[in-house]
Amino acid sequence: MYVAGAAGCRAGDNRRMRPPFQDKICRRAEAAQRVAALAHPVVFTNGVFDILHRGHVTYLAAARALGGSLVVGLNSDASARGLGKAPDRPLNREIDRAWVLAALESVDLVVPFDEPTPVALLKELRPALYVK
């Protein structure tokens, strides 16, 4: 994203800005430590979230309201393809799906995972609530 004339920038001086929500996307190796620093109780949910719609964002907001923070386990591209959906799914790449989720106010952390189910990730993160 380029911003012209933003605070601290001269007219015509475009600078590449890193959106703050990008920090909500977390590698699995760092996830337990990041979850420990979140407001408790921690709520966890998961899914592919390929074509985000009103039902998804309503569900995520409701899940977040159940605790102090919401962690979303995101099926990786390989994991999503193994779920038996259409052969061209997911339509949106993993990183794009992660960015869209991270941009939501209700989501505190996004953690991609490669397995078909989030069972191993749930054991690692040990949230107070699992919402599905």
| Digit-coded pLDDT (tens) for 27-78 | 999 999 999 999 999 999 999 999 999 999 999 999 999 999 999 999 999 8
Q: Give the residue, 98 or 11, on which the prediction is more confident.
A: 98
Q: For residue range 78-92, list pLDDT tens digits in order.
A: 888 877 676 777 899
> What token pair was written down for 11?
């007219």
* Predicted pLDDT of residue 55: 96
pLDDT band at 16 (very low <50, low <70, confident <90, very high): low
111, containing H or E segment: strand 109-113
pLDDT the model gives residue 6: 41
Whole-angstrom distance, CA of residue 13 vs CA of residue 54: 37
Report CA Rg, the chain.
16
Kindly give, in sequence order, each residue whose CB lies less than 8 Å from that of residue 99, ignoring residues fewer than 6 positions away: 21, 22, 25
The model carries a pTM of 0.85
